[in-house]
Every structure is written in structure tokens, then in C-alpha cells.
């Protein structure tokens, strides 16, 4: 037998490499993920090949599984008529039609480049959010008087501001349901299809509202102005959280809703022990309002049961933080961590969170046990602080793939850092008041001057060496402390990237501009080379 020539060697080497890339997927630096995009649209020429095992996992357990469950969940939550109810909703409501269908692309964007256990654990988080979203909008549609929903269900559904914690309604969970007004039509849509919300922002401005208030509040008002909110509720509970804009929006929404409304504002100075009693009484008054309006009595047993279940969710969250903070084995990527946690902690106890946590716990334990480095290309461990851009919540997936920036934890995740005592009614009420006051975007952002700077403690706790400092341009609370952060970053010699954005409105700062800012920082200040240069610049301006 003759010795192989140089050409044959090269050929064999190449064949081996191709086979390896096929079987295992390409190494991170060779992936060229940017080449997969169709220009402007964010669509893929083809979806990423992640190796046989992960590609088939993605196809079977994520893509097929979720498409099937998107239909299955309609039936699960709404019975056999579910798909018909859903289609009627799609025909009637823009936020539903334009958002629900491209949901798998939302998975794609968040899970790009993920492999192995990271892919699995993160995908389960996404799956839970989709399922809970379906549950909420099916309840809206089932009770919706605009599309022929059931009057009986209408009478048994309470609407509330999305910043009112779902736990407030636990005492009635066995007989009634509560659905936030803006969580699906506004919050979720921004993540899945960022074009939709622009209609609502423009609608708000079309009646003379200036462009400078928080665009989230504008959008929430715009949904009502576009007559795009299902009529699924006889009564409403509102909140002042998280900011002046939310209060302002309430005035406009109240006009459009025109039905009994109970305002349940939270005290602003939530660190003051004197405010707790007042807040607890507000919660009790809200309960009395619900009893009076619906005729359904308050149930302590229901409240206790759900709070105890919610505490389990919090306990697991602490386990997750422990692993994220102290090891390289945390299998949940930045966007899945942030969205799942804010969704779950605000929504409260629902079965899907428990099912998901059980699945993720197994993966987490496996990673720890086998010491699986879940983000092996990590160059910097980042903490994201302040309010995130909803239209680019998956920036962290991009940042890891392009630069090795691993967003380990974020502010929203850390806000509700407590369990609730259930030993006595008084303790429960005290803790519920505090939990309620730590509303999203308040405890460590808009209102929490004393807590804003907990950033430094959490940086240390989670062993982070960089900060992604969200700079919501229309958030008066966070703009109002901009200089203090600048001073602190300089004094502490911390690498912080300011990410300007306008929460849901991509027109103010585009995704591409955000990437440009990070690229500039990484090259000019950090003097680093990208892991995947094809991701540096691409146009996804028309993408979902």
C-alpha cells in the first residue's frame, strides 16, 4: 500500500472536519452566524446547523414540539372550540395576529448559537412563557364580549394593570381568573414582533400626547385608543407602578374602559417601615372591592395555598442564582433568564412555572454534577442593569455569540427577592405589601435610589466584571440618575456599556445601533477581536 499523498491527507483532514462539523456542529469561531441572515428581514437563509444531536433536538423538541403545543394549548385552556376562538381573535386583534404566528422566530433569535444543556434549559423557559401567554389570551378571548365570548366567564374575570402582581388575586383563583390588561397585548408583543407596538405608540400620539413620556405607557394607552383590548372584564384594578407615566396612562385608560375601577397604588418610599400598614390596607380594600363587585368571598385557604406554591418558585430561583453566581455551569442564557423571571414573578403561581422549573432543575443538576461549562467562550461575565429594550431583549444572545459577553444576571431577575410568610394572616399581608411595593422597574430602578446602587453588591456576588447599563431614554427615573452612575463607574473603574434604547420603540435606537455601540466599546475600549466577525454588522431593520 502506498503512503497517502499530501493532497489525500488534506482531503481526509477536510472530510474529517466536515464530518465533525456535521456531527458536532462548527466550533464557535467558525460558525459565521451572520451569514445565515437574509438581508434586512432577520429571516434565515437556513436555520443554524448545530450538529446532529442539537439540530434534531431543536427540530423535534423545540420547533415541532412548540408548534404542536401552540395548538394543543388552545384546546387545553379553552376546550375543543379553542382554535376557532383563537382564529376569531386573530381576525379581530392586531397584537394577536401579528405576534402569535412568528413566535418560533422569537425562539430562534433568543437561542441562536446555543448548544447542549444551555439550549435545552433556555428553550424550556421560552416554552413556559408561550404556554402562559396562550393561557392568558385564551381566557381573554373566551370571555371577550367583542368576539362573542361567554358572559359567564366575563363575569368571572378580573382585569388589572400588568404591574399589579397576580398574587393579589390568589384568594379567588379557584372560582375566578385574573388577566393583566397589557401583559400580552403590549409586553409580549414587543419581544415577539417589534413592529406591532408602533401602531399603538402612534395612536397615542395622534390624539395630542407628546412623544416624550415613556413609550411603554404610550403604547398601553394606544391599545385602548385603537379599540384593541378585548372586553373580558367587568372590573379593573390599577396601580401607580412603575412611574408617573403609568399613572398618567391610567387616566386615559379609565376613560376608554369606563367601568368600575379600583386604584391600588403602592407607596413610593417602600423602605420606610411606616408605609407598610398603609399598603396592606390598600390590598385589603382591593379585596373588599372584588368581593363587593363580584359577590365572591375572599378565601384565605386559596391565598395560602398559592403563596406557598409561589414560595417554591422563589426557592428554586435562589438555587439558580447560586449556580449562576458561583459556577460556570449555569445553563440558562441571559434573555431566557430575564424574561422568564420577570414574567413568572409578576404573574405569580401558575402550573406551567412549576412544570418548567422541575425540568430545568434536572438540567441544572446535571450541569453541576458533570461540571458542564455552559458558556465556554465567556470572556466577560456581565450583569445587566436597569430596564431592558423590549425589542432587543435577545441582545445577550448576540453579545455572547459575537463577543463572548455572557450576561449572567440582570436587575429584573433580582427584584422580587423574597418569600411570603403564611403562618398568620398579618404576616402574610405584611409580606404581600412589600412584594407588591417592589414592583417591576421600581425597586432597583425608577423609584429605588437606595437600591439602584445595589448593582455593586450584585456584581461582586455574581462575579461579574462588566455592566450592561440600559439607558432607557424616556425613563425619567433612570435618566435622573445618569450622572451618578457615570461618577460611580469611573470611581470604581468598572467597564460599563451604556445601551440607549426606548423600551418598546425601535425607531429611537435600532437594534443595529445598539450592536454598533457594543462593537465600538469592545474594539475601542476593550481592544478585543470578535469571536464571530459576521455578527458585527448586519441589517435586521425589518425583522420581527
Partner 1 sequence: MKSVLKPLLILFGILSGLYIVLFVVFFFDLDGKALFYGVEPFLKNHYDRMKRKDPLDMEYRTDTEKYEY
Partner 2 sequence: MKDLKHLIEMEDLLQQAHNKLVKEAREEGRKAIGYTCYFMPEVLLDLEGCFGVRLRAPNCTTPVMATYYMSGRTCHFGRSLMERALEGGYNFLDAQMATETCTVTCRFQEHLQRMDIIQNPDFFVEFTDVPFKKTENSVEHYRKQLQAHVLDSLHEKYGIDTSDEALLKAIEQHNEVCRLVSEIGSYRKLDVPTITGYEFAVIQLTTITCPKDKILPMLRETAEEMKTRKPDLKPTWKVKVCVAGAENDDPDFIKLIESCGALVVADRYCYGSLPGREEIVVQEGQSPLDAIARHYLNTSCCPRFMPQDIMRGRKQYIADLCKEYNADGLIIESNKFCEYWSYERTIDALVIPRDYDIPTCSIEKEYINSASGQLRTRFQAFVESVELKKLHSRKGADDV
**Cα–Cα distance between 352 and 134 in angstroms, integer?**
11
Q: Which of residues 46-75 bind partner 1 (CB under 8 A)?
A: 46-47, 59, 63-64
Q: Which is nearer to partner 1, 231 or 513 (CB)?
A: 231
405 SS3 class: strand
Best CA proximity match to 174, nearest among 294, 349, 302: 302
In the complex, minimum distance from the CB of residue 136 to partner 1, in angstroms, rounded to a whole number: 21
Best CA proximity match to 387, nearest among 343, 340, 317, 338: 338
**Cα–Cα distance between 287 and 172 in angstroms, integer?**
10
- Joined grid coordinates for residue 10: 488534506
Site for partner 2 (CB under 8 A): which residue of 89, 171, 213, 440? 213
**Does 40 help bind partner 1 (rule: CB under 8 A)?**
no
**Does 209 help bind partner 2 (rule: CB under 8 A)?**
yes
Q: Which is nearer to partner 2, 39 or 212 (CB)?
A: 212
153 SS3 class: helix
- Joined grid coordinates for residue 186: 403590549
Name the segment binding partner 1 (CB under 8 A); options: 103-111, 136-144, 354-362, 487-495. Answer: 103-111
Cβ proximity of 74 and 137 under 8 Å: no
In the complex, minimum distance from the CB of residue 134 to partner 1, in angstroms, rounded to a whole number: 18
**Cα–Cα distance between 415 and 412 in angstroms, integer?**
6
**Cα–Cα distance between 228 and 535 in angstroms, integer?**
37
Residues in a beta bridge with 37: 44
**Does 207 help bind partner 1 (rule: CB under 8 A)?**
yes
Residues in a beta bridge with 497: 468
Name the segment binding partner 1 (CB under 8 A); options: 15-23, 255-263, 342-350, 361-369. Answer: 255-263
**Cα–Cα distance between 309 and 298 in angstroms, integer?**
18
**Does 215 help bind partner 2 (rule: CB under 8 A)?**
no
**Does 217 help bind partner 2 (rule: CB under 8 A)?**
yes
**Does 480 help bind partner 2 (rule: CB under 8 A)?**
yes
**Cα–Cα distance between 117 and 362 in angstroms, integer?**
10
**Cα–Cα distance between 463 and 476 in angstroms, integer?**
30
Burial class (CB in 10 A: 0-12, 13-18, 19+), 148: exposed
Q: Which is nearer to partner 1, 63 or 453 (CB)?
A: 63
**Cα–Cα distance between 247 and 224 in angstroms, integer?**
15
Name the segment binding partner 2 (CB under 8 A); options: 36-44, 83-91, 299-307, 474-482. Answer: 474-482
Site for partner 2 (CB under 8 A): which residue of 142, 282, 357, 412? 282
Name the segment binding partner 2 (CB under 8 A); options: 32-40, 51-59, 211-219, 455-463. Answer: 211-219
470 SS3 class: strand
Q: Which is nearer to partner 2, 180 or 404 (CB)?
A: 180
**Does 98 help bind partner 1 (rule: CB under 8 A)?**
yes
**Does 493 help bind partner 1 (rule: CB under 8 A)?**
no
**Does 262 help bind partner 1 (rule: CB under 8 A)?**
yes
Residues near partner 2 (CB under 8 A) are 207-210, 212-214, 217, 221, 238, 240, 243-245, 247-252, 254-255, 260-261, 263, 265, 267-269, 272, 274-275, 277-278, 281-282, 285, 446-447, 449, 473-474, 476-477, 479-484, 486
Binding site for partner 1 (CB under 8 A): 41, 43-47, 59, 63-64, 90-91, 94, 97-98, 101-102, 104-105, 108, 199, 207, 224-228, 255-256, 258, 260-262, 284-285, 288-289, 292, 544
Amino acid at each position: 500500500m502506498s503512503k497517502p499523498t499530501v493532497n489525500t491527507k488534506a482531503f481526509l483532514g477536510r472530510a474529517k472536519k466536515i464530518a465533525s462539523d456535521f456531527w458536532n456542529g462548527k466550533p464557535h469561531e467558525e460558525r459565521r452566524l451572520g451569514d445565515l441572515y437574509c438581508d434586512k428581514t432577520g429571516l434565515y437563509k437556513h436555520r443554524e446547523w448545530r450538529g446532529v444531536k442539537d439540530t434534531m433536538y431543536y427540530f423535534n423538541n423545540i420547533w415541532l414540539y412548540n408548534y404542536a403545543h401552540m395548538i394543543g394549548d388552545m384546546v387545553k385552556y379553552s376546550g375543543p372550540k379553542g382554535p376557532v376562538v383563537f382564529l376569531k381573535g386573530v381576525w379581530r386583534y392586531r397584537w394577536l395576529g401579528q405576534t402569535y404566528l412568528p413566535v418560533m422566530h422569537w425562539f430562534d433569535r433568543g437561542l441562536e448559537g446555543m448548544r447542549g444543556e444551555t439550549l435545552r434549559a433556555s428553550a424550556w423557559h421560552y416554552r413556559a412563557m408561550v404556554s402562559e401567554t396562550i393561557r392568558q389570551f385564551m381566557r381573554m378571548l373566551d370571555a371577550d364580549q367583542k368576539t362573542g365570548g361567554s358572559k359567564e366567564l366575563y363575569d368571572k374575570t378580573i382585569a388589572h394593570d400588568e404591574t399589579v402582581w397576580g398574587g393579589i388575586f390568589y384568594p379567588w383563583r379557584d372560582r375566578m381568573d385574573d388577566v393583566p390588561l397589557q401583559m400580552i397585548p403590549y409586553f409580549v408583543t414587543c419581544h415577539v414582533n417589534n413592529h406591532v407596538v408602533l401602531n399603538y405608540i402612534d395612536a397615542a400620539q395622534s390624539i395630542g400626547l407628546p412623544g416624550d413620556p415613556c413609550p411603554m405607557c404610550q403604547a398601553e394607552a394606544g391599545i385602548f385608543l385603537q379599540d384593541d383590548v378585548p372586553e373580558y372584564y367587568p372590573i379593573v384594578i390599577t396601580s401607580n407602578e412603575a412611574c408617573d407615566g403609568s399613572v398618567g396612562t391610567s387616566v386615559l385608560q379609565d376613560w376608554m374602559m369606563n367601568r368600575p375601577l379600583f386604584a391600588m397604588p403602592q407607596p413610593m418610599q417602600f423602605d420606610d417601615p411606616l408605609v407598610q400598614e398603609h399598603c396592606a390596607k390598600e390590598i385589603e380594600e382591593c379585596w373588599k372591592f372584588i368581593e363587593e363587585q363580584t359577590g365572591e368571598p375572599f378565601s384565605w385557604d386559596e391565598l395560602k395555598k398559592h403563596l406557598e406554591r409561589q414560595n417554591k418558585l422563589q426557592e428554586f430561583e435562589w438555587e439558580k442564582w447560586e449556580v449562576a453566581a458561583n459556577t460556570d455551569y449555569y445553563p440558562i442564557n441571559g434573555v431566557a433568564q430575564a424574561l422568564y423571571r420577570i414574567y413568572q414573578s409578576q404573574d405569580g403561581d401558575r402550573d406551567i412555572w412549576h412544570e418548567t422549573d422541575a425540568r430545568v432543575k434536572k438540567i441544572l443538576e446535571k450541569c453541576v454534577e458533570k461540571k458542564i461549562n455552559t458558556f465556554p467562550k465567556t470572556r466577560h461575565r456581565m450583569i445587566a442593569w436597569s430596564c431592558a429594550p423590549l425589542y432587543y431583549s435577545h441582545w445577550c444572545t448576540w453579545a455572547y455569540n459575537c463577543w463572548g459577553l455572557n450576561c449572567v444576571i440582570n436587575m429584573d431577575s433580582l427584584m422580587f427577592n423574597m418569600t411570603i410568610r403564611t403562618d398568620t394572616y398579618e404576616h402574610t399581608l405584611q409580606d404581600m405589601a412589600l412584594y407588591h411595593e417592589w414592583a417591576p422597574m421600581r425597586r432597583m430602578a425608577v423609584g429605588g435610589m437606595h437600591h439602584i446602587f445595589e448593582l455593586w453588591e450584585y456584581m461582586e456576588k455574581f462575579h461579574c466584571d462588566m455592566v450592561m447599563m440600559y439607558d432607557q431614554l424616556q425613563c425619567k427615573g433612570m435618566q435622573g440618575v445618569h450622572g451618578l452612575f457615570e461618577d460611580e463607574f469611573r470611581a470604581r473603574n468598572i467597564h460599563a456599556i451604556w445601551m440607549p434604547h426606548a423600551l418598546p420603540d425601535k425607531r429611537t435606537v435600532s437594534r443595529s445601533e445598539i450592536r454598533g455601540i457594543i462593537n465600538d466599546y469592545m474594539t475601542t475600549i476593550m481592544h478585543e477581536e470578535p469571536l464571530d466577525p459576521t455578527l458585527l454588522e448586519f441589517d435586521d431593520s425589518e425583522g420581527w
